[in-house]
Amino acid sequence: MYQPKAEDKFTFGLWTIGNVGRDPFGAPVRGELSPAEIVRILGEVGAWGVNFHDNDLVPIDASPAEADKIKAEFKKALDDTGVVVPMATTNLFYDPVFRDGAFTSNDPKVRAYARQKTMRAMDLGAEFGAKVYVFWGGREGTETDAGKSALDAGKWFREALNFLCEYNIDQDYGYKFALEAKPNEPRGDIYLPTTGAMLGFITTLDHPEMVGVNPEVAHETMAGLNFMHAVAQAWDAGKLFHIDLNDQKIGRYDQDFRFGAENIKQSFFLVKFLEDVGYSSSRHFDAHAYRPADLADVKEFAKGCMRTYLILKEKAQQFKEDAEIQELLAEITADDGSMAPFFGKYSADKAKALKAHTFDRAAMAQRGQPYEKLDQLVFELLMGVR
């Protein structure tokens, strides 16, 4: 039961399984794993795919010979395990050169270098078959607005994406770009801090059809927002190209906990949404194990992410089949059809008829909406007592 299958499209980043447990207050607590070793672990726990930043695979200072060796070992591990590479991305945050941002740095040399690094990273991702390209601008922000224009920053980011879309076309890579928002951390404030902000920004690009979003549970939750609502908006816009699943307490630092570790009900509504609409891209776990975990526990962390998703998927199915729940839903959403003439496309006649209609406001305000009963049933369903 709850064994992951290829069609679940569960993926992990090299940086997730490979997370060494470093934090701002403490040194690494786990040994480094090579990319090939991580792929073998993913094969063992039953994941479908692995994603990487350019420098997760090839260190920033690697010689061409070193790069070739790492890539050959990685390729062999992929072939041996059947693990695939659906997504790639660029590390534009770790190296000191990006201390004031990449595409939005005030230094034109850094902005140009960020484009060069991204083109090379796109080449690397394409070499392994990646079709989604994520942009997470962790350093694209400020601590103080004294020295950087938010307007210029937006313009530079737009120009960079337009340039890279053309490169994608030029090379015939067929990437879809997925923009990942985060409100803060590591910068004091990060530009375009929410999925909604990204969706608005995408409409200003030269190739909006090529660009969508990669919403992350932890990031909207840090800001105290309802993640599933952001996902629904992205889905409605046809822009849900990728998703980063993990968990998080509201208002904290970016915790990137195991999927479902914190907010069981919200995780359930998210899985239910993705399954109801038929989301079919990667289900990527952008999370890492608790710092005290050893390698055996890292594997439990990875299995736990996938198992929780599958358990919640089963619960979503039960929700659909639960007669009492469905009855309540039918009651809450009941429609006697009497308002149909007022809906749909505008016409002057419709507007006139609607303005003239008399509503029984007092009766409408009394209609039952048993959300309490329904929510308790959801709770009981999730607790396994239904």
List, by residue number, the catalytic residues: 53, 56
Q: Which among 52, 137, 53 has a CA at the least distance from the CA of 93?
A: 137
Nearer to Mn ion, 220 or 254 (CB): 254
- Restricted to residues 29-58, the positions that interact with ligand GCO (CB under 6 A) are none
The reply on whether position 161 binds Mn ion by CB under 5 A is: no
- Restricted to residues 289-318, the positions that interact with Mn ion (CB under 5 A) are none
Nearer to ligand GCO, 37 or 256 (CB): 256
**Element (DSSP H or E) covering residue 11:** strand 10-13
Residue whose entry in the numeric block shows the structure tokens 């609607």: 354
* Distance between CA atoms of residues 194 and 199, nearest Å: 9
Counted residue by residue, the chain has a size of: 386
The reply on whether position 286 binds Mn ion by CB under 5 A is: yes
Among 37, 247, 286, 322, binds ligand GCO (CB under 6 A): 286
Which range binds ligand GCO by CB under 6 A, 25-33, 54-62, 133-141, 271-279?
Answer: 133-141
Among 33, 134, 210, 234, binds ligand GCO (CB under 6 A): 134
The identity of residue 317, as a single letter, is: Q
> Based on the number of CB atoms within 10 Å of its own CB, is 25 exposed (0-12), middle (13-18) or buried (19 or more)?
exposed
The reply on whether position 216 binds Mn ion by CB under 5 A is: yes
Which range binds ligand GCO by CB under 6 A, 131-139, 164-172, 344-352, 368-376?
Answer: 131-139
Vertex 309 angle, CA 372 and 379, to 5°: 15
- Choose the contact partner of 89 out of Mn ion, ligand GCO, none; CB within 5 to 8 A by kind: ligand GCO
Contact 111, 153 (CB under 8 A): no
* Distance between CA atoms of residues 81 and 89, nearest Å: 22
* Strands 283-285 vs 10-13: parallel, antiparallel or unpaired: parallel
Which range binds Mn ion by CB under 5 A, 72-80, 153-161, 213-221, 322-330?
Answer: 213-221
DSSP 8-state assignment for residue 52: E
CB of 181 to ligand GCO, least distance (A): 10
CB of 297 to Mn ion, least distance (A): 20
* Distance between CA atoms of residues 47 and 12, nearest Å: 8
> Based on the number of CB atoms within 10 Å of its own CB, is 8 exposed (0-12), middle (13-18) or buried (19 or more)?
middle
Q: Fill in the per-residue mask, 226 to 265: x = in contact with Mn ion (CB under 5 A), - = not in contact.
A: ------------------x---------x-x---------
Contact 51, 14 (CB under 8 A): yes
Residue whose entry in the numeric block shows the structure tokens 């496309």: 345
Nearer to ligand GCO, 136 or 191 (CB): 136
Which range binds ligand GCO by CB under 6 A, 134-142, 170-178, 261-269, 337-345?
Answer: 134-142
The reply on whether position 218 binds Mn ion by CB under 5 A is: yes
Count residues contacting ligand GCO (CB under 6 A)? Answer: 10
- Choose the contact partner of 134 out of ligand GCO, Mn ion, none; CB within 5 to 8 A by kind: ligand GCO
Which range binds ligand GCO by CB under 6 A, 19-27, 29-37, 132-140, 364-372?
Answer: 132-140
21 Ramachandran zone, left/alpha/beta (phi>0; psi -120 to 50): left
> Based on the number of CB atoms within 10 Å of its own CB, is 61 exposed (0-12), middle (13-18) or buried (19 or more)?
exposed
The reply on whether position 244 binds ligand GCO by CB under 6 A is: yes
Vertex 278 angle, CA 369 and 333, to 5°: 15
Nearer to ligand GCO, 140 or 254 (CB): 254
Residues lying near ligand GCO in the complex (CB under 6 A): 89, 134, 136, 138, 180, 216, 244, 254, 256, 286
Which residues contact Mn ion by CB under 5 A?
A: 216, 218, 244, 254, 256, 286
